[in-house]
Structure 1
C-alpha cells in the first residue's frame, strides 16, 4: 500500500470548502471530514439541551459528553447526535446565528480538535474507511492547528462578492440582492467572530492559496487536485 495522504483545506465562509473537499476526497478515494459540521452539531446539541451558550463551562461540558456519530464517506453524508439525524437541522438559520458562540469557546475548540485529530489519524491505517489511503479534512484552523503536518495544506479563498453569492444560491436558490442581503450576516459575521480565535483568511507558511472567485466547482476541484498531485503524486482513481 502507498503512503496515506492527508489533505487539509481551510478558508472563509462561502469559499466552497465543503463541496470542493468532498469531491476531491471522492475522486482520490479518500475519507472526508467536515469539521465545520462538528461545530454546528455541537451547537444543535447545546440548544436542544437548553444550555445557555453564554455559560462557557456548561457548553464545553456538554460538547465533551456529546454522542456524535459522523461518517467519513464523501459519497454518503452521515451526521447523527444521540441517534438523531441532524444533517438538515445544522444548516438552518437558527444554528447559523448561534454557532459562533460555540465555535469561539476555547474549551470546545480543544475538544473538537482532539476528535478531529483522531479522525484524521484513523484514516492512515489499513482498517479504516479509506483502507489507509488517507483523508481530506476541511474547516477552520485545519491547516495550522489541527493538521499542521498534513501532506497538502490549501487555503481556499474567494472574494466577498463571490462568497455571498454562493451562500445565497445555496440557501435561497438565487443570488439576487435580497438573497445576498439575507446571507450577509451569516457569512461575514461568522467570519468576523471566528477570526477572534483562529486565522483562516491568510495562508500560513507552506499553505497553498487557491482563489476560486472566478472558478466554478469543477474548476476549483481541478485546481486543488493539481496541488495534491504536485505535492504528493496522488491522482484521481480510475
Structure 2
C-alpha cells in the first residue's frame, strides 16, 4: 500500500503483553507491507554480547558491540528470522535467559542512539522495498519515527498483559504461570521506562486498549485507525 505522498509508515509502541508484536505482524501482513521488530534488535545484541563474552554491565563494551553487530532481520511478517553472525537465533532470543538480561542492553544510553538510527535506516529501506512498514517497539512513536503517518500506543491492563505473556511463555495462564511471569514482565517495563516512554501516548499518538479485545478484534481496531489516518492523509 503506497500512498500518493509516499510509503505507508506505521509506528506502534506498547508494554509487554499488550499484543503489539502479534498485532503488528498481522497488520503488516493484511496491508502487504514489511515489518520491523525493534525489540528483536536489542535481544539480538544481548545474545551477541553473551556469545562473545561481553560483560553486559560494561556499558562501553556493549556500545562497541552494538556498533559492529552483524545482524540480519527478515521483513516478512509471516516469516520472522533473526540471524546474528551467521547463526539463526530467532528462537533463542525469546528464551528466559535473554529476556532476563535484555534490559541491561536496552537501558544502556550509549546503545540506544546506535540502534535507533539503525531502526530508522531499516524502516526507510523496508518502506522503499515493500511500499510501507509497520515498526513496533517502545520508543518508535516518539524517538525513532515521530513523523510516521500512523502512530499508535497499544496498551492493556496489567492483568491482561500478564495473562497473555504467561500463555505465550508457559502455555498456561493459571495462577502459578502468571506468578512465574510477573517479575519478568513488570521488571522489564519498569527498567525500560527509565529510558523510554511507552505507557502514556505522546501528542498525536492514538491509544488502542486491547484489555477486553481478542486478537482479531485488536487487529481490526488497529486497521481501523490506519484506514482513518491514511484516508485523511489522502484528502
How would you bin the TM-score normalised by the shorter chain?
Answer: over 0.9
- 1:43 counterpart residue number: 46
Cα distance in 2 between the residues matched to 1:159 and 1:178: 19
- 1:78 counterpart residue number: 81
| Among 98, 102, 113, the residue aligned to 2:101 | 98
Cα distance in 1 between the residues matched to 2:118 and 2:215: 29
Asked whether the equivalents of residues 34 and 127 of structure 2 are also in contact (C-alpha less than 8 Å), the reply is no
Would you say 1:30 and 2:33 are equivalent positions?
yes
Asked whether the equivalents of residues 75 and 126 of structure 2 are also in contact (C-alpha less than 8 Å), the reply is no
Q: CA deviation at 1:233?
A: 2.8
Normalised TM-score (structure 1): 0.94
Cα distance in 2 between the residues matched to 1:40 and 1:152: 25
Matches within 5 A, 1:48-197: 48-125=51-128, 128=129, 130=130, 133-197=131-195
Cα distance in 2 between the residues matched to 1:51 and 1:181: 31
Q: CA deviation at 1:95?
A: 0.5
Q: CA deviation at 1:66?
A: 1.0
Cα distance in 2 between the residues matched to 1:124 and 1:174: 37
| Among 219, 227, 235, the residue aligned to 1:229 | 227
SS at match of 2:119: helix
SS at match of 2:110: helix
Q: CA deviation at 1:123?
A: 2.7
Contiguous gaps of at least 5 residues in structure 1: none
Cα distance in 2 between the residues matched to 1:38 and 1:158: 24
Cα distance in 1 between the residues matched to 2:127 and 2:27: 17
Q: CA deviation at 1:140?
A: 1.1
Deviations 1:89-148 (A, max 9, x none): 1111110110000000011111110110001111332xx2x1xx1100000100000000
Question: Which range is displaced more, 68-77 or 223-232?
Answer: 68-77
Contiguous gaps of at least 5 residues in structure 2: none
Asked whether the equivalents of residues 208 and 221 of structure 2 are also in contact (C-alpha less than 8 Å), the reply is yes
Where in structure 1 do 4 or more consecutive aligned residues deviate above 6 Å? none
Cα distance in 2 between the residues matched to 1:215 and 1:92: 27
Question: Which range is displaced more, 45-54 or 19-28?
Answer: 45-54
RMSD of the TM alignment (CA)? 1.0
SS at match of 1:154: strand
Normalised TM-score (structure 2): 0.96
Q: CA deviation at 1:184?
A: 0.6
Cα distance in 2 between the residues matched to 1:231 and 1:42: 34
Aligned residues: 229
